[in-house]
């Protein structure tokens, strides 16, 4: 059976195909590419506590605790508005995280009380309660289930704090990604139902 395409035509077809591929390769860098902006990663936001925009009572610092603030909002309670700061702790177990949080407030003059009857206001939520003058702080620390020494995030914490106004007139204090004070629905409304 004779070939369907003559050898000469086959060679010409292969040559044309090779030339077309080379032309596409040479010109392809100009087609369909994004314009380089040199902005490939977002800037890391300022730590919500370290920024000083909404400081902790007594300017407490969470030294020694690896954490990230997830949410910071003012909520209504039976005693009036309170500030709830929701975070996650890393690399340590529940007891050590709780101890570091308590120590952070004790370092600035707070003392732990055993009963809410010792607080200057009626209701503060938290498993551990601290007081300094007329300022009360509640701390609740929860360990995540099934974490191991290989896991980075080990648990959650909630600080029940007095409401504080923005302490600095710094542009970073206007960014919810830095302060974790989101303008939309509150923490409870945005938390998935388990």
Q: What is the DSSP string of the chain?
A: ---SS-HHHHHHHHHHHHHHHHHHHHHGGGSSPPPP-S--SPPPPPPTTTT-SSPPGGG---TT-EEEEEEEEEEEETTEEEEEEEEEEESS-HHHHHHHHHHHHHTTT-EEESSGGGSSSS----SEEEEETTEEEEEEEEEPTT--TT-SEEEEEEEEE---------GGGG-HHHH---SSS-HHHHSPP-
CA 163/CA 105 separation, integer angstroms: 16
pLDDT band at 62 (very low <50, low <70, confident <90, very high): very high
Q: What is the pLDDT of residues 115-149, one digit of tens each?
A: 777 677 766 788 899 999 989 999 999 999 998 88
pLDDT band at 9 (very low <50, low <70, confident <90, very high): confident
The pLDDT of residue 182: 85
How many other CB atoms are found less than 10 A from the CB of residue 102?
18
| Average pLDDT estimate for 103-118 | 89
The pLDDT of residue 35: 67
Cβ(105)–Cβ(58) under 8 Å? Answer: yes
Mean pLDDT of the chain: 85
| Model pTM above 0.75 | no
Q: What angle do CA 109, 115, 119 make, to 5 degrees?
A: 55
State both tokens at 25. Answer: 């390769």
Least confident of 25-29, 68-72, 128-132, 148-152: 25-29
Those residues whose C-beta lies under 8 Å from the C-beta of residue 13, and which sit 6 or more positions away, are: 5
pLDDT tops 80 at residue 41: no
Percent pLDDT > 70 in the chain is 83
């Amino acid at each position: 059976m004779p070939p369907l395409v003559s050898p000469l035509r086959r060679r010409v077809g292969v040559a044309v195909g090779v030339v077309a591929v080379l032309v596409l390769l040479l010109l392809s860098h100009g087609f369909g590419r994004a314009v380089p902006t040199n902005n490939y990663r977002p800037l890391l936001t300022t730590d919500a506590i370290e920024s000083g925009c909404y400081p902790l009572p007594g300017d407490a610092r969470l030294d020694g605790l690896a954490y990230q603030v997830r949410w910071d909002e003012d909520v209504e309670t039976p005693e009036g508005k309170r500030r709830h700061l929701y975070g996650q702790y890393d690399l340590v177990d529940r007891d050590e995280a709780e101890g570091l949080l308590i120590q952070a407030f004790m370092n600035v003059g707070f003392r732990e009380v055993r009963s809410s009857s010792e607080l200057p206001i009626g209701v503060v939520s938290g498993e551990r309660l601290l007081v300094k003058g007329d300022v009360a702080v509640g701390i609740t620390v929860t360990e995540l289930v099934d974490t191991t020494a290989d896991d980075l995030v080990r648990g959650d914490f909630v600080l029940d704090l007095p409401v504080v106004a923005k302490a600095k007139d710094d542009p970073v204090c206007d960014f919810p990604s830095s302060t974790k004070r989101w303008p939309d629905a509150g923490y409870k409304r945005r938390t998935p139902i388990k």
